[in-house]
Amino acid sequence: MTEIEEGWICAKCNVEMKPGIIPKYEYEKGIPLSNVSTLRCPKCDNVFFTEEQADEMEARTEELKKRTFGFLRKVAVSGKSLVVGIPSELASHLHIKQGQKVKILPAVDGFLVQKA
């Protein structure tokens, strides 16, 4: 992707990219944003984000993280493992039932739990 005075050029097709909107995009895994501004190649459909667009997505993601419901839980011990209970409201929201497996992934400021 290169920038010229008229606009941004697709590195693959050498065609001027056009402004567009992606209806749903996850700048950070698990936090979907809607109506995200982008540049898109009209020929190959390649998508590119300018630095300003990336900054906007980061700011929107941080705002959503602040407003998204969450739960404070104390870490307990069970045998040699640390355990955290999943609140029933969250289990219901994520359709998690007793006996199901979940996957725990490291994240920037903690961890992410997904249904396996």
Please tell me the predicted confidence (pLDDT) of residue 92.
81
Shared domain for 59 and 88, answered yes or no, is no
Which of the four pLDDT bands, split at 50, 70 and 90, describes residue 21? very high
Domain interval for residue 105: 76-115
Same domain as 81, residue 57: no
- Contacts of residue 12, defined as CB under 8 A and 6 or more positions apart, other chains included, come to 41, 44, 46
Residue 5 pLDDT > 60, yes or no? no
- pLDDT score recorded for residue 73: 87
- Of residues 54 and 114, the one with the higher pLDDT is 54
Residue 62 and residue 7 share a domain: yes
Q: Are residues 14 and 33 in the same domain?
A: yes
Count of domains in the chain? 2
- Residues 93 and 58 reside in one and the same domain: no
Do residues 17 and 6 make contact, with C-beta atoms less than 8 angstroms apart?
no
Residue 63, classed as helix, strand or coil, is helix
pLDDT digits (tens, 9 = 90+) for 46-69: 999 999 999 999 999 988 887 776
